[in-house]
Amino acid sequence: MNISRRAAMIGGTSLLASTTAFPANAFDGPLTDIVTGSEEFWTAVDAYIYGYPLVTMEMTRRVITNVAEAKGSRGPMGHLIKLREYPNASFRDVTAPNADTLYTTAFVDVGDEPWVFSFPDMDERYYLFPMLDGWTNVFQVPGTRTTGEKAQTFAITGPNWSGSLPDGITQYKSPTAIVWLLGRIYCTGTPEDYAEVHRIQDACKLQPLSTWGKDYTPPAGKVDPAIDMKTAVRDQVNRMTAVEYFTLLSELMLRNPPAEADAPALERFATIGITPGQPFDKTKFVPAFEKRVPEIGFARLMLHFKSSDIENINGWGFTTKTGVYGTNYLQRALVTAIGLGANRPQDAVYPTSRKDGNGVFARSYDGANHYVVTFKKGQLPPVRGFWSITMYDENYFFVDNPINRYSISARQDLKANPDGSVDILIQNKSPGTEKEANWLPAPKGKFYLMMRLYWPDENDPTILNGSWVIPSAKRID
């Protein structure tokens, strides 16, 4: 048993118990039976963390695609899902949703044949179409930054596919059968701009390679009534027993193989019955661990907020380790839990804040208080795409409010102070008509903030190297 891990787990219990983001009974009962127990338990916890992205991706896929036709934020496998407006406070399909771009997304299975995707000229509009494999790695990201604004056609091919493609089609090879095309097109949210983005979305096409050059209409989806369409995906994942979880993980690894670099971890996991390409062997798993492994596993990954992978700048947790994770399984699992679908840092950085910026007196955000984020004159975020600050409840979902504003950015026509600085006012009640343009509505209870910094400016690399000073959200009453 690794003593430092044991100390970290015990030392972190007060932190973990203080937030409802963790299972209420994660630390019920004596810890000594686990902490001083066998290496088998900690191997199972590590395996839980390792598999969290793949299991979450699959459960997300099931919920999003379990419909007969594409409508709203859901659509069958192989159908383009075109969000026509920003998600609202009832949206629960993924954590930390975006209210700055209109999603154009699809889940496809490229294990048997490639899928071809094409989109029109973007005419100077910012966009990106990142492709996530089953483990949540962004393996390719065509977009304004990488491929420019002209129309494009590409084929997403599976891990075992070999063949030729028609002229003019670029190949992007996925390491897994599951692929989530998670496109984002910037939109100001006005009726006129919605209509323009809708035109672009409607010109996007997705179809199997075998149908290329032919008229293609995707078949209707089949609805499975056994799939829970109401409970948030993260809650569905977190309530699985270890046996349920590892059984699904083993099934998924048949068509979504682990990376070669995972071999040392997989050698350990084989001792508890997890072997890629084979069903989960629960005879090697200790039944007494069935409930405790998910509880401690999720608490452990959330404790990663306190790791060196997350810098703290003025009360904002800041990381550039997103999108591509290598063997950093804890970081990959944490990002999955709080921001599934995160981009590579060259495309977006997501500082997140759970406490105000009042130094040693910092407290959790509460809508009963008033807060302000002040950007000094000339010091708005140095990005080439866009920036915003988004309001979330303590479970990382949007907050209902009277003006239906979930994020705030330059598109709100922010009012500057006489000295040229810009205040973002964060509170539950409106600050009044004159200041409402600068208001980010908060709930009455606890909340979290996320800043989105899309396409950090290469000519001003301070965001990517961590030297940009993020303004704190200070309590002002």
Amino acid letter for position 460: D
**What pLDDT does residue 306 have?**
85
Alpha carbons 212 and 115: distance in angstroms, whole number: 9
Q: How far apart are CA 370 and CA 423, in angstroms?
A: 12
Structure confidence at residue 94 as a pLDDT band (50, 70, 90):
confident
Question: Rounded to an integer, what distance in angstroms lies between the CA atom of residue 379 and that of residue 250?
Answer: 49
- pLDDT for 402 equals 95
Q: Is the pLDDT of residue 141 over 50?
A: yes
Pick the more confident residue, 306 or 64: 64
Binned at pLDDT 50, 70 and 90, residue 1 comes out as very low
- Rounded to an integer, what distance in angstroms lies between the CA atom of residue 366 and that of residue 353? 12
In the prediction, which pLDDT does 102 show?
95
Asked if the model's pLDDT at residue 322 lies above 90, the reply is yes
- Say which residue, 439 or 17, is predicted with more confidence: 439
- How many CA atoms lie within 13 Å of 386's alpha carbon, on the beta-carbon side? 23
Reported as a pLDDT band with limits 50, 70 and 90, residue 91 is confident
Beta strands in 301-406 (DSSP E): 311-313, 316-318, 348-349, 352-353, 371-375, 383-392
- Domains observed in the chain: 3-59+231-306 (1.10.3360.10), 67-211 (2.60.40.1610), 311-475 (2.60.120.600)
pLDDT, mean over the chain = 90
Can you tell me the mean pLDDT for 143-153?
A: 97
pLDDT of residue 442 exceeding 90? yes
CA 278/CA 272 separation, integer angstroms:
13
pLDDT of residue 339: 87
pLDDT in the model for residue 2:
37
Neighbouring CB atoms inside 10 A of 282's CB total: 16
**Cα separation of the two ends of the chain:** 48
- pLDDT mean over 354-370: 88
What is the rounded CA–CA span in Å between residue 68 and residue 181? 19
**Residue 208 DSSP label:** E
Q: Tokens at residue 287, please?
A: 């039944």
Longest dimension (CA), the chain: 70
**Of the ranges 14-18, 116-120, 168-172, which one carries the lowest mean pLDDT score?**
14-18
**Whether 440 contacts 341, CB under 8 Å:** no
Q: Are 474 and 372 in contact (CB under 8 A)?
A: yes
Query: What are the backbone angles phi and psi of residue 382, rounded to the nearest 5°?
Result: -80, 85
pLDDT tier, 369 (very low <50, low <70, confident <90, very high otherwise): very high
Per DSSP bridges, beta strands 439-441 and 422-427 are parallel
3-state SS assignment for residue 349: strand
- Radius of gyration over every alpha carbon of the chain, rounded to an integer in angstroms: 23
Amino acid present at 390 = T
pLDDT value of residue 317: 87
Distance CA 106, CA 62 (A): 12
What contacts 150, CB < 8 A, 6 or more positions away? Answer: 121, 122
Query: Quick one: what percent of the chain has pLDDT higher than 70?
Result: 92
Give the C-alpha separation, 245 to 55, whole Å. 8
CB-CB contact of 145 with 346 (8 Å): yes
Tokens of 259: 């990376």
What confidence category does residue 459 fall into, taking pLDDT thresholds of 50, 70 and 90? very high
Q: Check whether 394 has a pLDDT greater than 60.
A: yes
Structure tokens that stand for 19 in this block: 């937030």
Q: Measured between alpha carbons, how far is residue 253 from residues 62, 258, 259, 355 in Å?
A: 16, 7, 11, 38
Q: What is the rounded (10 degree) CA torsion for 89, 94, 96, 102? A: -80
CA atoms within 13 A on the CB side of 425: 19
Distance from C-alpha of 152 to C-alpha of 431, rounded to nearest angstrom: 46
Gap between the Cα atoms of 300 and 293, Å rounded: 10
Q: For residues 118 and 466, give the distance between their C-alpha atoms in angstroms, rounded to a whole number.
A: 36
Count of other CB atoms within 10 angstroms of residue 82: 23
* pLDDT of amino acid 37: 56
pLDDT on residue 6? 31
DSSP string, 102-166: EEEEEEEE-SSS-EEEEE---TT--EE--EEETTS-EEE--BTTTT-SS-EEEEEE-TT------
Q: Is the pLDDT of residue 3 over 50?
A: no
pLDDT of amino acid 295 = 96
Q: Is the pLDDT of residue 30 over 50?
A: no
- pLDDT (0 to 100) of residue 93: 76
Asked if pLDDT for residue 312 goes beyond 90, the answer is no
User: Is 338:396 a contact under the CB 8 Å cutoff?
Assistant: yes
